[in-house]
Structure 1
Amino acid sequence: MTATRTAPHGRDRGQVTVEFLGMTPLILLTLVLMWQFVLLGYTFTLAGNAADEAVRAGTAAKPGARQAACVQAGTDKLPGAWSGTVTCGGGGGYVTADVTLKVPVLFPGSIGFPFEVKGHAGAVEEAKD
């Protein structure tokens, strides 16, 4: 009586495919989370840069137009997909700017998370000669 044996690797046929399909949702979730963290970091960068630019414009503007120049410069530095506010203030020779942005969910311009990212900057007014 001869027994036929199947090769041990014959029973494992397709195992790699099944394991890959089982890991695909975890891989996709990891990529989505990494992308969301990139958007969060980029939003922090945008808020800080917009606040810096707003203060720079506010310190260089004439005293009567300081507020408008500050807000305009901060708003101009924000891409259209990021919604937020720019407020400028200060006094006594000091100009401040606060930028508040919403962090987009997966795609800029879409819905935002319920929390906001804030950027703040301040500088001394330039002397006018």
Structure 2
Amino acid sequence: MPEHPPQPTAPPDLHRRAERRERPGHRPDRGQASLEFLGFFAVLLLVALIAIQVGIVGYTAQQAGTAARVAARVQALDDGNDGAGAGRAAISGWLSSHTAITGAGGGPGSSQVTMTTRIAVPQLVPGLLGNLTVTRSATMPRDRSNDQ
């Protein structure tokens, strides 16, 4: 029988590395959890931004209602009062620069005053919501004690 030439042998540390890979319970996908976390973290960040933006829209709507009520109340007391200025002063400073307050139904003979507030919603990501504005109106009866 012909003899086969001797096979080259690998250094002993390569045998140990190969044995480690073949051990039962050993996972060759080391680091996969870190990559999955990074992908999931991006989704969590997006959900958090959406939740914060929805909160800002709700807060803006609440502030618009407050501004409209205060403006109508002050304007109903006397036509010389600055209802729009009072409404703007009643809301948060960071929203007042985005606010427009208009009135209707004023005048000496009218029995009520209606004020409308429009506030442009601040956005975390500019352009995401377009030009979203919140509009609220309030109507107050005119104070008749000053008409005498």
Report the TM-score when normalising by structure 2.
0.71
Structure with larger RCO (C-alpha < 8 A, sep 6+): 1
Which of 97, 105, 115 lines up with 1:90 in the alignment?
A: 105
Equivalent position SS for 1:35: helix
1:73 to 86, 102, 106: 86
Q: TM-score, normalised by structure 1?
A: 0.80
| 1:13-37 deviation digits (Å, cap 9, x = unpaired) | 3332221111111111111111111
Which has the larger strand fraction? 1
- Superposed, 1:25-104 pairs within 5 Å as 25-60=42-77, 62-63=78-79, 65=80, 68-82=81-95, 83-91=98-106, 92-104=110-122
Question: How many residues matched?
Answer: 121
Q: Which ranges of structure 1 fall in alignment gaps of 5 or more residues?
A: none
Task: Map 1:99-110 onto structure 2 (within 5 A).
Answer: 99-106=117-124
Distance 1:113 1:76, change over 3 A: farther
Equivalent pair of 1:102/1:113 in contact (CA under 8 Å): no
Match of 2:133 in 1: 116
Give the root-mean-square deviation of aligned CA atoms: 2.4
Residue aligned with 1:78, SS: coil
Q: 1:117 to 1:43 in 2, by over 3 A?
A: same
- Cα separation, partners in 2 of 1:37 and 1:9, compared to 1, 3 Å: farther
CA distance in 2, matches of 1:56, 1:80: 20
Rg: which structure is higher? 2
Sequence identity of aligned pairs in percent? Answer: 29
Cα pair distance change 1:89/1:10, threshold 3 Å? same
Shift of 1:9: 4.4
